[in-house]
Amino acid sequence: MTQPAFFPFQDLARTLLPHAGDASGDGSHDTSHLQRVWKNAAAIQAEDGGDAQVLFAATILHDCVPTEKNSPLRAQASRLSADKAARVLSALDWPQAQIDAVAHAVAAHSFSAGIEPLTLEAKTLQDADRLDAIGMLGVARCFYVAGRMGSALYDPLDPHASERPLDDRRYALDHFRAKLLKLVSGFRTDTGARLARVRHERLQRFLDEFADEI
């Protein structure tokens, strides 16, 4: 039997989802993304440990201040989301220590922010979110976001950027070498790293087959 979405925190999900930022219309950061990140986070937590409730709240609220990939505020998005998450949980009378733990995990999850995750929950959320950026889901999300930004699929004159700088704002294919292929080396948990290697291989296989077709 399939477990319900957000198991075993369905009640907390109903409380937090209205604050999760899903109204932005960004299909790469919608409720399905939160479901997948929680699935990843729960799989890591089951093997590596950590406070499951803190991790769940951080998962639901990690993108609660939506920011487009090409926004000048992108590097600040996770800090803004952390501040909002703290306000939401404070209004729910959460203990300050748990609020601080959630806020740190939210702030540190972002690739753009460059904040070092100091807790197991923060490391787990960062890994869980990055798992959704690689593998076949990463491919789908990459091209979806490129479409939102008005990017081309690739440079027809130099698709692999052999004689030009990478430019992933203009070409979706450039984003693989600019970021996605680099993610596998930065996973923080044992379980996350193991899962990442599988998805990295899928990412590389996609690129090889894409290159063959073009």
Count structural domains, the chain.
Answer: 2
Is position 121 within any domain?
no
Residues 6+ away with beta carbon under 8 Å from 73: 67, 80
Token couple for 93 = 């009378």
Same domain as 210, residue 141: yes
Q: What is the pLDDT of residues 89-106, one digit of tens each?
A: 999 999 999 999 999 999
Length of the chain: 214
Q: At what angle do helices 96-108 and 77-91 cross, to 10 degrees?
A: 160
Q: Give the structural domain span for 140.
A: 133-214
> What sign has the CA pseudo-torsion 133, 176, 187, 102?
negative
Judge whether 46 and 137 are in contact, CB under 8 Å.
no
Is position 123 within any domain?
no
Q: What is the pLDDT of residues 42-80, one digit of tens each?
A: 999 999 999 999 999 999 999 988 776 656 666 788 899
Same domain as 91, residue 29: yes
Q: What is the pLDDT of residues 122-158, one digit of tens each?
A: 999 999 999 999 999 999 999 999 998 899 999 999 9
Distance CA 214, CA 212 (A): 6
